[in-house]
Amino acid sequence: MTTLRIETDADLGRRNTLALPARAAQLATIRSLDEARALVADPRRRGLPRFVLGGGSNLVLCGDFAGLVLQAALSGRARTGEDAEAFYVTAGAGENWHDFVQWTLAAGHPGLENLALIPGTVGAAPIQNIGAYGLEVCERFAHLDALDLDAGELRRFDAAACRFGYRDSVFKQEGWHLSGRYLIVAVTFRLPKAWAPLTRYADVAAELDAAGVARPTAVDIAAAVTAIRRRKLPDPAAIPNAGSFFQNPVVAAEQAARLQAAYPALPTYAQADGRVKLAAGWLIEQAGWKGRNRGPVGMFEKQALILVNRGGARGADVRALADAVRADVQARFGVALAPEPIYFPAT
Ligand code: NAP
């Protein structure tokens, strides 16, 4: 039997990568399913508003929280299955994502290498269907196990039940990520035995080319992606940030054609459904926000899509800058940008 650790008046400032200050009335660090079940069964916690925290890397904390934060710290990773086409690997929700990717590669199971160095935890990965360099986690997903914190029951979600979309899943669609309905405890990935390198993103191809790698292995791709990310993206430990702050907008083909006629340099990517994805970072840069600050926050000088805390920012500062950027992009291009991180508590 484990003893559940519950901290009161907990500091969330060091638990979010934007380093925004906030406190939670209670914070429970959950290291096992037993601990999660014990928490749910405890009558003293009943009725308390809840929030599940992973690595805090996709979060804008807007103030204190008078409820219970569950920090998912469940660990463990193992190969859990195999069939004719694929290996299956399972990791605890609290495992660091990048460490897990490295572990799969060291174990000889490629497939996640394009997602190297994404900050956050394994449990958070399916919630926003993390993606980078031409791969989304849903393409390597088998299922996840989550504890329904209302019913106290474990539920398995396969890919269909997760209703994955572009940086989206049922957890966001139903607002469960804000209401603390489910605690994801473990995620199982399906890594096909037939592996082919995904190098269609120009940055990846150029990085491999520069390294003289003509026939990359998965380890080569992970190294290339890691090098690109280290160069372009600020390390949250040095410059607090939450990764890409806005989703790339996907617009109707006619709107994309009109914009391209007016702005021939605008990068566009045709989608399978006939719509067109625009690069949010380009729109933000053209709107004059690259490297520009507003109070203690700014848009990063090397990557306009990243909002950074220059020191001492609060959630309201982040919101004000994000709103100003959105308004300028809307006025100039007629395109609505949607934030990628979650604002919490919602106001
Ligand atoms: P980039 O290479 O400068 O490209 C700008 C945007 O164009 C990307 O966001 C990407 O969309 C899209 N794009 C580029 N090449 C493409 C292709 N061959 N086919 C389809 N779409 C293409 O982007 P970046 O900002 O340096 O980011 C590189 C990758 O890492 C992207 O996939 C990005 O999403 C990912 N990333 C994610 C985060 C995060 O916090 N979520 C942070 C940093 C980077 P997609 O975003 O749809 O891939």
Q: What is the pLDDT, as a whole number, of residue 5?
A: 84
The tokens describing 22, both together, are 């906030």
Q: What is the average per-residue pLDDT within 129-143?
A: 97
Residue 248 Cα to ligand 1 middle (Å): 8
The torsion angles phi and psi of 9, rounded to 5 degrees, stand at: 45, 55
Q: Tell me the CB-side half-sphere exposure of residue 298, using CA atoms within 13 A.
A: 15
- The identity of residue 229, as a single letter, is R
**Does ligand 1 come within 6 angstroms of the Cβ of 203?**
yes
* Catalytic residue flag (residue 167): yes
Residue 253 has pLDDT above 70, yes or no: yes
* Catalytic residue flag (residue 136): no
* Catalytic residue flag (residue 113): no
- The identity of residue 232, as a single letter, is K
Q: What is the average per-residue pLDDT within 76-96?
A: 97
Q: Is the pTM of this model over 0.85?
A: yes
Per the residue annotation, which of 167, 181, 190, 229 is the catalytic one?
A: 167
Q: What is the pLDDT of residues 162-208, one digit of tens each?
A: 999 999 999 999 999 888 999 999 999 999 999 999 999 999 999 99
Residue 241 Cα to ligand 1 middle (Å): 17
Q: What is the pLDDT of residues 319-346, one digit of tens each?
A: 999 999 999 999 999 999 999 999 999 8
Q: What is the average per-residue pLDDT within 131-150?
A: 97
Residue 2 has pLDDT above 80, yes or no: no
Q: What is the pLDDT, as a whole number, of residue 347?
A: 72
User: Mutate which of 18, 60, 248, 276 to test ligand 1's pocket (most atoms within 8 Å of Cβ)?
Assistant: 248
Q: What is the pLDDT, as a whole number, of residue 161?
A: 98
Residue 232 Cα to ligand 1 middle (Å): 12
Q: What is the pLDDT of residues 272-307, one digit of tens each?
A: 999 999 999 999 999 999 999 999 999 999 999 999
Cα 202–243–264 angle (5° rounding)? 45
Atom of ligand 1 at shortest range from CA of 200:
18
